[in-house]
A = this chain, B = another copy of it.
Amino acid sequence: MTSLLEQEIESQPEVIARLLEREARHIFEIVAHLPSFDYALIAARGSSDHAATYAKYAWTTLAGYPVALAAPSLLTMYGAVPRLASALVVGISQSGQSPDMLAVLEEGKRQGRPTLAITNDGASPLAAMADHVIELHAGTERSIAATKTYTAQLAVMAMFAAALSGEARNMDALQQLPAAIETTLHLSARIAQDVERYRYMDRCIIIGRGYNYATSFELALKLKELTYVMATSYSSADFRHGPIATIESGLPVFLVMPTGATYDDMLELARDLRQRGAELLVISESENALALARTALPIPQGLPEWLSPLSAIIPGQLVALRLALAKGLDPDVPRGLQKVTRTL
């Protein structure tokens, strides 16, 4: 019997295709009618926060809007009231249940700012609070680790980036996503055998930069949730500011390095890490990058860099799934976790 997690990973081409069909026009209309704002404040936790991190890059590069990631505890723990003048206030939550996300949107509304909810549950409190709601249409996510709702959230953030940019070619590029994810799933067939080698790995490092900084966090979270490996993620720039000292011979390092603006920087780091004796697992479509790897995790050619996080996370999800199975763990029910985390 395949696990729920595997079914949900496999469903992603269909989920993203449906989402594009149902929400692309809606997002264009929302953007066309948004009141003026100077920056976006996004409240999110866990995988949703990684989707927000992606928006921090995509919304600025494509449309110039800076993105601030909200610290929801400012409101819920400290009772602080941030001035939200000039802000578009956004909450991302799979369940739409978390009280801390809700508090941020509520404050945005109180101050008369435009509010946006991105959630898989259109009947949730978060959806009820916001001026505009984008539903993920991903179907119930039954496994505890988020997969299809994460890529759906990324796709929503990408659609907003395209709509905010006002450029038709960006909106057109989105249509490549379902096929690119499908191809990535096919390219990942070897992973079940490849992960055997990592059965007794107890820690690893994951590095991504720019758009794929988010991918490094999401991959680390999947490994932690599903395989209990101590996975730590970095940008290549931050990694050089100290943590590179932890590299030892044989330490597994995942490098998320699709071609694009950050590729040369990542390639330089990859070569440095090889010299320091690290064992590289490389997610890329570049033959040169994959050739540096002990374990190559290919993604398809042709997707523009700003959309690459939607293909680059797929091998990561599959590594976490297959490694959980290799360890004899149940991928659907990680120890000590619940699906909805109601943090304050």
Is there a chain B Cβ closer than 8 Å to A24's Cβ? no
Q: Which of A12-20, A123-131, A221-229 contacts B (4 or more CB under 8 A)?
A: A221-229
A residues lining the B interface (CB < 8 Å) = 38-39, 41, 45-46, 49, 56-57, 60-61, 64-74, 77-87, 100, 145, 202-203, 209-210, 213, 221, 224-226, 228-230, 232, 235, 237-238, 240-248, 261-262, 265, 276, 334-337, 341, 343-344
Knowing A86-B39, A265-B344, say if A229 contacts B246 (CB, 8 Å): yes
Q: Is the CB of A228 within 8 A of B246?
A: yes
B residues near A71, Cβ cutoff 8 Å: 56-57, 60, 210, 213
CA distance A272 to B66 in the complex (A): 38
Number of copies: 2
Query: Which residue of chain B has the shortest Cβ distance to A228 in the bound complex?
Result: B246
A203 in complex: contacting residue of B145, B202, B241, CB < 8 Å: B202
B residues near A67, Cβ cutoff 8 Å: 68
Q: Is the CB of A336 within 8 A of B230?
A: no
B residues near A229, Cβ cutoff 8 Å: 246
Q: Is the CB of B210 within 8 A of A46?
A: no
Secondary structure class of chain A's binding surface, majority of residues: loop
Closest chain-B Cβ to A57's Cβ sits at a distance in Å of: 6
A235 in complex: contacting residue of B70, B73, B145, B230, CB < 8 Å: B73
CA distance A82 to B84 in the complex (A): 19
CA distance A244 to B228 in the complex (A): 9
B residues near A57, Cβ cutoff 8 Å: 71, 74, 78
Q: Is the CB of A145 within 8 A of B242?
A: yes
B residues near A203, Cβ cutoff 8 Å: 202-203, 230
Query: Which residue of chain B has the shortest Cβ distance to A46 in the bound complex?
Result: B241
Q: Is the CB of B228 within 8 A of A230?
A: no
Q: Is the CB of A61 within 8 A of B38?
A: no
Knowing A68-B67, A261-B77, say if A86 contacts B83 (CB, 8 Å): no
Closest chain-B Cβ to A186's Cβ sits at a distance in Å of: 28
B residues near A235, Cβ cutoff 8 Å: 73
Q: Is the CB of B241 within 8 A of A341?
A: yes
B residues near A87, Cβ cutoff 8 Å: 38-39, 66
Knowing A232-B232, A337-B245, say if A65 contacts B49 (CB, 8 Å): no
Closest chain-B Cβ to A46's Cβ sits at a distance in Å of: 4
B residues near A244, Cβ cutoff 8 Å: 336-337
A85 in complex: contacting residue of B38, B56, B337, CB < 8 Å: B38
B residues near A237, Cβ cutoff 8 Å: 45, 72-73, 100, 343-344
* Shortest Cβ-Cβ A-B pairs, 10 listed: A68-B68, A46-B241, A237-B343, A86-B86, A61-B80, A38-B86, A225-B242, A38-B85, A245-B334, A77-B261
